[in-house]
Chain A
């Protein structure tokens, strides 16, 4: 693929947002994480094609950008469902029985950690301490923090995310 085609993989809106970040930085590469997060916000995840397009836009190699993308927990290099459920498995939630919550959720959604439901509705991921230990056990669905959670609330919670 030529450079133009690669960059054409990004929408004008994405490019504009990325360029705006770049304008505040000393060089284009410094916007790498911002750019990945921007594109992910638009598409849910970073495909190989997106990654190559971003790399070209930032004037850096795909390998180097992938090195950055694969370092961070919140950058998804595999497709995710419409809703991303992240359940905290760190110490305070653990004390408040996060493990049995995780089991319940897996049962409810019929998937294991790291998997996506067949209808693409939910992806289930573990997450480290969400900084809401006073509300343990907690989870975050998309941008919403939920906690403390009693297992019998799960149906009601999931119903809100289609």
Chain B
């Protein structure tokens, strides 16, 4: 700790931190642009100038950049000294020379850091008389808009995109006052983290392109704290609504999970909410796939008539904990299936064992960033849990911080740290069937089938020092790196659909643990609430559920397209003449078999709890009321039960939650405050900003009568601007960040205890699983056969961050960004099959042909297929089952850029 005098007032701050960080951490206002809490300082914009005094007698002081100055004990500075203030105003005046006056039509307007800083410094009068510089913009693909004229050359975009996220196709071009930030040529930004540019750019150069199509000012958006529904990481997000439509997602800071950044599946994947295939009404199937809509009561009656004591309830890993609970309540645990296939169930149970053991810790993403040696087993995390990959990337930079410290370079001095460390990185080893987007920073990679990877993992755990084969050399390196590390980490997951991999990784960690290595293990489950629904549990497996359905049992399928879980052939047969009640958001293959269908709310239209990979339960609050008859599944289920004269005992979400907590996890009540929570004893938390316009008149074109403000019985949030969002309330209830003078997302520091630290009243979420001392199994390897048959190819599921997410695949920006579904071959196999890269391959069992790709790493004898088609195939394919398709046309390409590797 150090004492820092700011304009004569003493503050306790951390010694050695940069001064800007310290000033902001004291909740004081100091303008800045190029600095970013996660990106550190480079001192380019010169906006954060303060006066620093040598001692108490010094009255003149010296101007210096706060972000480039280390705090020392007893330091004296002034933010208010006229020289500092005038200099800061002049810096804005310089920046505004060329900045267009297009705020009224700029997507950033109203949440623009440049606007905020301009107002804050008081620059308001134009003295520069020259012409403004102009640029031609680039088409950067479906996600990101580009308006270079607005650029103020803070370098944040390239520092995030290249330095932080490892992108290679965005660069700083030109020099002097002709600086351009863009690509080598027009084309889609490749990185799956490109969307963060929208928030990283302090003005409107990089904007959310899909949002721009149905644009609303930040202050007119209704938002609530929510959780991303597109993978198991559970990033915190702010979904936003206007006029009953979902509009966009922005990052909701969580220090232990997503920090300041999301992946693009999370940011652009939620437009499925507005999809034309949304089910809007309850319907009853009349004849061949024709549903009769318009009479929900009759639908409930019809559904009730199908339900009896043997009705199967099939829940879903993408439905909330409460919805799954509601269904389980309705059908009984003995008839409840959690909605995943048997293979996946086994995997989830294996993951839960890991979470329960206190031998091995499951890290938060914040902890992942501290891991000094990482071994990735089988999982392509860039595609299955993308945000995790961003954290892994940061972890490999730890050594550069060490080197910097030894050279007396402050760790926040970003450019200095990077220049000094050059290419030094912490060890990262990746064993996967095919290339991954982390290969560029891996010390070594290993490519092989699931069995090959298992072999490697067991070799690592046996510490075999024999180094005759490549595999042994790789394993030896991994073992050494993990044993020599202070905070080693193993990452694996469900991506290859192999429980053996999880057992092997567990075994490896347990063995290392025995030798005193404190190792962490992160296992990536498939979906947002996989762990939640697995914890809830049901007695029926999916295969036996389908058997019973075939045998005549009726079933309720909730928020689940079973076609994503079993092969089409199996399901077509099982559901052929089934009695099916389906509750979901979108029309999909399972809906086609429904007898009765109910429109269920999506994550943004209901409140509920999701349990992430760490078993962290997080509350997602309803952002807005769904249109027409759409309501939460738990409501429909209760109405069906009521019709059966067996009401489930809840009318509000609160009541449901109470019941759920009572019979499952009491902690669920502590995850977020209940509906009666009030700020300062009296005020709700507003979903709307205090400048929200048209609240009483926005529907005047439909009805001039002022609608009554909806009262929210379910949560402590209000559907209005009434209430208070002071930032000191419970962290789970922050609906948006805003603070006087800080309209942009940069305002988040006003909600933090310290810049980049915890939220003032704690980080949302609670782990449901407390390690219970259970010992992990040390199973040695089953006898594996690695023999490959010369005539067959082993089928490997390949995940795509854009293209393998069930719901995000209904989101139009994601569709625009998804590659044509493809098969991956080793060069030799492709040649053997006479398949040229880019041509089409007909694969037995699939209706549509796939694009042929050659992967740099996939070994001969393996074939990678899209994960969502994996189940349509056996575990092997004969060469004779693959054919050239002369009529194949690939989806028009999002331009491929030249990237360095992989």
Instruction: Decide whether A and B are members of one complex.
Output: yes
> Quick check: A63 and B183 within 8 Å, CB to CB?
yes
Q: Which of A51-59, A117-125, A148-156 is found at the contact surface with chain B?
A: A51-59
List, in ascending order, chain A residues with CB within 8 A of B666's CB.
Answer: none
A24 to chain B, nearest CB (A): 16
In the bound assembly, the distance between CA atoms of A59 and B899 in angstroms comes to 8
Q: Which of A66-74, A108-116, A137-145 is found at the contact surface with chain B?
A: A66-74
A31 to chain B, nearest CB (A): 14
A20 adjacent to chain B (CB < 8 Å) = no
Known: A26-B422, A27-B423, A48-B185. A63 touches B900 (CB 8 A): no
> Quick check: A63 and B169 within 8 Å, CB to CB?
yes
Known: A6-B898, A56-B898, A71-B175. A62 touches B184 (CB 8 A): yes
Count class of interface residues, chain B: 20 to 34
B212 adjacent to chain A (CB < 8 Å) = no
Residue of A nearest to B158 (CB): A67
> Quick check: B168 and A70 within 8 Å, CB to CB?
no
> Quick check: A52 and B898 within 8 Å, CB to CB?
yes
B173 adjacent to chain A (CB < 8 Å) = yes
List, in ascending order, chain B residues with CB within 8 A of A100's CB.
Answer: none
List, in ascending order, chain A residues with CB within 8 A of B168's CB.
Answer: 60-61, 63-64
B170 adjacent to chain A (CB < 8 Å) = yes
B421 to chain A, nearest CB (A): 13
Shortest Cβ-Cβ A-B pairs, 5 listed: A61-B168, A63-B171, A67-B171, A62-B184, A63-B184
Tell which of A52, A63, A64 has the most Cβ of chain B within 10 Å. A63
20 pairs, A vs B, C-beta closer than 8 Å: A27-B423, A48-B184, A52-B898, A60-B168, A60-B900, A61-B169, A61-B184, A61-B898, A62-B169, A62-B185, A62-B897, A62-B898, A63-B168, A63-B171, A63-B183, A63-B184, A66-B171, A67-B173, A70-B174, A70-B175
In the bound assembly, the distance between CA atoms of A6 and B897 in angstroms comes to 12
Tell which of B168, B183, B900 has the most Cβ of chain A within 10 Å. B900
A54 to chain B, nearest CB (A): 11
List, in ascending order, chain B residues with CB within 8 A of A59's CB.
Answer: 900-901
In the bound assembly, the distance between CA atoms of A63 and B186 in angstroms comes to 11
List, in ascending order, chain B residues with CB within 8 A of A55's CB.
Answer: 898
B192 to chain A, nearest CB (A): 16
B443 to chain A, nearest CB (A): 16
Residue of B nearest to A72 (CB): B175
> Quick check: B900 and A61 within 8 Å, CB to CB?
yes
> Quick check: A71 and B898 within 8 Å, CB to CB?
no
Residue of A nearest to B423 (CB): A27
Q: Write the residues of chain A forming the contact surface with B, with a CB cutoff of 8 angstroms.
A: 6, 26-27, 48, 51-52, 55-56, 59-64, 66-67, 70-71
B873 adjacent to chain A (CB < 8 Å) = no
> Quick check: A71 and B174 within 8 Å, CB to CB?
yes
CB-contacts of B397-452 with A (<8 A): 422-423
> Quick check: A61 and B171 within 8 Å, CB to CB?
yes
Q: Write the residues of chain B forming the contact surface with A, with a CB cutoff of 8 angstroms.
A: 162, 168-175, 180, 183-185, 422-423, 897-901
List, in ascending order, chain B residues with CB within 8 A of A51's CB.
Answer: 184
List, in ascending order, chain A residues with CB within 8 A of B180's CB.
Answer: 70
> Quick check: A63 and B423 within 8 Å, CB to CB?
no
In the bound assembly, the distance between CA atoms of A124 and B98 in angstroms comes to 29
Residue of A nearest to B174 (CB): A70
Known: A6-B898, A55-B898. A63 touches B422 (CB 8 A): no
List, in ascending order, chain B residues with CB within 8 A of A26's CB.
Answer: 422
Residue of B nearest to A3 (CB): B898
In the bound assembly, the distance between CA atoms of A52 and B184 in angstroms comes to 9
List, in ascending order, chain A residues with CB within 8 A of B173's CB.
Answer: 63, 66-67, 70
In the bound assembly, the distance between CA atoms of A103 and B233 in angstroms comes to 66
Residue of B nearest to A58 (CB): B900
In the bound assembly, the distance between CA atoms of A139 and B888 in angstroms comes to 60
Tell which of A59, A60, A64, A70 has the most Cβ of chain B within 10 Å. A64
A48 to chain B, nearest CB (A): 7
In the bound assembly, the distance between CA atoms of A59 and B170 in angstroms comes to 16
Residue of A nearest to B190 (CB): A61
List, in ascending order, chain A residues with CB within 8 A of B898's CB.
Answer: 6, 52, 55-56, 61-62
Known: A26-B422, A27-B423, A61-B171. A66 touches B184 (CB 8 A): yes
Residue of B nearest to A51 (CB): B184
Residue of B nearest to A68 (CB): B171
List, in ascending order, chain A residues with CB within 8 A of B184's CB.
Answer: 48, 51-52, 61-63, 66
B855 to chain A, nearest CB (A): 14
Using A63-B184, A67-B171, A70-B174 as known contacts, list a sample of 15 further A-B pairs with CB atoms less than 8 Å apart, ordered by residue number in A.
A6-B898, A27-B423, A52-B184, A55-B898, A59-B900, A60-B900, A62-B184, A62-B185, A63-B168, A63-B169, A63-B170, A63-B171, A64-B171, A70-B175, A70-B180
B594 to chain A, nearest CB (A): 48
Residue of A nearest to B896 (CB): A1
Residue of B nearest to A64 (CB): B171
Tell which of B170, B172, B183, B422 has the most Cβ of chain A within 10 Å. B172
In the bound assembly, the distance between CA atoms of A95 and B189 in angstroms comes to 49
Tell which of A26, A61, A66 has the most Cβ of chain B within 10 Å. A61
List, in ascending order, chain B residues with CB within 8 A of A67's CB.
Answer: 171-173
